[in-house]
Amino acid sequence: MDRNQIAEICKEVIYECVPDMEGTPIYEDTVINTDTAIDSMGFTLIICRLEAKFDVKIPQRQWSKMSTFGDVVNAFEKRINRRF
C-alpha cells in the first residue's frame, strides 16, 4: 500500500469519526489539534479505527507526538511497511 492510499484511508476514517469535518479539506500539514474539530478523545477513536483497518498498532506513547495529518500518515506507513 503506498502513501497516497494510506492517506486516503486516514481521511475517510477522520470524516467518518468526526462528521463535523465533512467537506473540510485535510492537508499533510493540517495540525490536528488546532486546525480540526478533533479533540483528544476523538483522536483516540480515529487511531483505534485506523489500527483496526490497517491491522497494526501504534504505541500509545507515540500518539501525542503526532501533530499533523502527515505525522499520522507517516506513523501508519512506517508500521505497515515494517509488516512486510
Partner 1 sequence: MNAEREKKLIVQTKRTGFMDLLNAFSHEDPDRTAVLYEKSGAAAALSRSAFAEAVMERKDDLAEEFGAGTCLGVLCDGSLSCVLTIFAAVLASLQVVLLDENASEDLLAAQIRQTDIDCLWGSDDDLIEELQGCLTEGLSPQRDMTDARSLHPAQIRTPDEHPILFFTSGTTSSSKAVVLTDASLMAAAYNGSCKLPLSCEDTLLCMLPLNHVFGFVCGMLWGMQCGAAVALGRGARYYTQDLSFFRPTALSAVPMLLGFLLQHNLLNEELRLILIGAGDCPPALLTAAAAKGVSVSFGYGLTETSSGVAISVPPEYRVNPVCTPDPGDPACAPDPGGPAFAGPDACGRALEGAQSFDPYALEICPENTVTLADDGEILVTGASCMMKGYYKQPEDTAAVLKKDGVLYTGDLGRWDEDGQLHIIGRKKEILVLHDGTKLFLPEYESRIAAVLPGRDFAVLEKNGRPVLLLVDPDAGSAGESSAAADKARAFVLGAIRPVMAELPRGQQVSAVLFTDQPLPRTATGKVKRWELARQLPG
The distance of closest approach from Cβ of residue 82 to partner 1 in the complex, given in angstroms and rounded to an integer, is 14
Q: Which stretch binds partner 1 (CB under 8 A): 3-11, 35-43, 74-82?
A: 35-43
What are the DSSP calls for 36-75, one per residue? SS--HHHHHHHHHHHHHHHT----HHHHTT--BHHHHHHH
- 64 binds partner 1, rule: CB under 8 A: yes
CA separation for the pair 37, 74 (Å, rounded): 21
Choice from 34, 55, 82, 84 touching partner 1 (CB under 8 A):
34
User: Which grid coordinates are listed for 34?
Assistant: 488546532
Choice from 55, 65, 83, 84 touching partner 1 (CB under 8 A):
65
- 31 binds partner 1, rule: CB under 8 A: yes
Q: Which amino acid is at 42?
A: G
Choice from 9, 15, 21, 42 touching partner 1 (CB under 8 A):
42
